[in-house]
Amino acid sequence: MKHRCWTVFSCAAAISLGAANASDEPVSASSSPDEESFYEEIERGFYSRINVLAFGITQQPANPSALNPDNVLGISRYQAVLNPRIDLNLDFRRLELSVKERFLYVWERWEDGLPSGREDSTAQFYLNEGFARYRLLDDLFVSFGRENLQWGPSVLLSSSNPFNPQNGRNNPRVEVPGLDYARAVWVPDSNWSVSFVANTSPGRLFSANVFGLDQTSFIGPATNVEGRRFEQSYALKADFTGDGKYFSLIPTYRNQNGYQVGFFGGWNVSDALLLYSEGSAGEQRDLEVQVGTSYTFEEGETINLEYYHNENGCLLDNIRDCFTTRQITYRDVYYRQDYMMGQFTDNKIIGDLNLNLRWIHDINDQSNQIIGIFEYEANSNTLLYVIANGYTGGSKSEFGSLLNYSLFVGAGYTF
């Protein structure tokens, strides 16, 4: 009975915390420790994976550009990247230890503007995630360490997440940086869970090279990105999961910006149709809200529609003025107030080829980002992928002011 309770608890905790890459987590066997030796118990609870990614990027900076005249931001034309990823995990009795160590080598060449003709390369080891988790009771555990906490049903971003709204869905081959947390999770029954989360330090938030995962990463400290200073924050997250519906409420306190309340919820109207919403509002941040729907056809294709409204967004005509007047913060994944998103997904569209097409429309300045994600499972160990981005809009618009296009081509091999 004790093991059954722990299994239910573990599943509910994983759902409530939304840890990224849940499918990559190890699955523990259910045999009793009394029936095996100490070594066998360690061996049974140990999991390892080595994944080597290699990819190349070619991208063309927009010219003319209000944000990047003569390429003063130094956006390179070509990049070649090697990124081995090592995942180690030990689930031993009441203790779980996890390490996600990374190595990154990046070569770059510039062809545009002031840095034209320059080449450079960097290499680094870093810990993207690593934590220790201890089960105090069957329905209560505590943990401390670096994690990528993700939750919410939305595609564009997770506006309810007070720690990092970037969800990484525009490029699933690039990892979202981990932040440092202390957490306690209580799961009283199969419908409810309550989490206390303290974000103690930024972890990799400001140091990660995210390869254009969000636009602010191109701009960085070269311009006036307001609030690029970490604040400790504390959240209480209550989750309810019922028959065909779920809801979460996330009150948060930040040291400098005071209180904020986030929420997300979804309703499975039928087996094919899902309605969802997500958002937040607080003392220093006005309302952000997302509403969306998805419909899955009998053959497996799925379409999504989503609307995002951010009252903190900038409505000045020239996107550069949004920075000079410090209306953009490091938390802003998108800069304007209103967006529409449409998406088409078909896994196994031809053989083992997976397809995701996404269109993001800035309603305020009429610029667009169009994303195509193509992934091909060559065999059980090898994944080939192409992620193409196209941008349209004037030189003073959001999506038209940094890049004309980018092409991300690579392969991953798992040992």
- Interval 215-225: pLDDT, tens: 666 665 444 44
| DSSP string for 110-170 | --SSTTTT-EEEEEEEEEEEEEEEEEEETTEEEEEEEE-B---S-SS--TT-SS-----TT
For range 121-128, the mean pLDDT: 94
Predicted confidence band of residue 330 (pLDDT cuts 50, 70, 90):
low
For residue 20, is pLDDT > 80?
no
Task: Return mean pLDDT, the chain.
Answer: 88
Q: How far apart are CA 5 and CA 3, in angstroms?
A: 5
Place of tokens 């690039």: 174
Return the bridge partners of 411, or none. Answer: 54, 384
> What is the H or E stretch that residue 369 is in?
strand 368-377
Buried b (16+ CB within 10 A) or exposed e, 260-288: bebbbbbeeeeeeebebbbbbbbeebeeb
Under 8 Å between Cβ of 340 and 322: no
How many residues make up the chain in this entry? 415
For range 172-178, the mean pLDDT: 92
Predicted confidence band of residue 2 (pLDDT cuts 50, 70, 90):
very low
The per-residue pLDDT for range 271-312, each reduced to its tens digit, is: 999 999 999 999 878 899 999 999 999 999 999 999 999 999
pLDDT of 5 reads 42
Q: How far apart are CA 407 and CA 415, in angstroms?
A: 27
Coil vs helix vs strand at 179: strand
140 contacts: CB under 8 Å, gap ≥ 6: 184, 185, 186, 187
pLDDT of 48 reads 97
Predicted confidence band of residue 17 (pLDDT cuts 50, 70, 90):
very low
pLDDT of 337 reads 96
Predicted confidence band of residue 56 (pLDDT cuts 50, 70, 90):
very high
The per-residue pLDDT for range 74-92, each reduced to its tens digit, is: 899 999 999 999 999 999 9
pLDDT of 284 reads 79
pLDDT of 406 reads 94
pLDDT of 139 reads 95
Enter the pTM of the model.
Answer: 0.87
Return the bridge partners of 178, or none. Answer: none
From 4-8, 47-51, 232-236, the region with the lowest mean pLDDT: 4-8
Q: How far apart are CA 89 and CA 131, in angstroms?
A: 10
Under 8 Å between Cβ of 147 and 179: yes
pLDDT of 12 reads 44
Residue 305 amino acid letter:
L
- % of the chain exceeding 90 in pLDDT: 74
Preceding peptide of 84 cis, ω within 30°: no
For range 173-178, the mean pLDDT: 92
The per-residue pLDDT for range 239-255, each reduced to its tens digit, is: 999 999 999 999 999 88
Predicted confidence band of residue 214 (pLDDT cuts 50, 70, 90):
low
The per-residue pLDDT for range 335-345, each reduced to its tens digit, is: 999 999 999 99
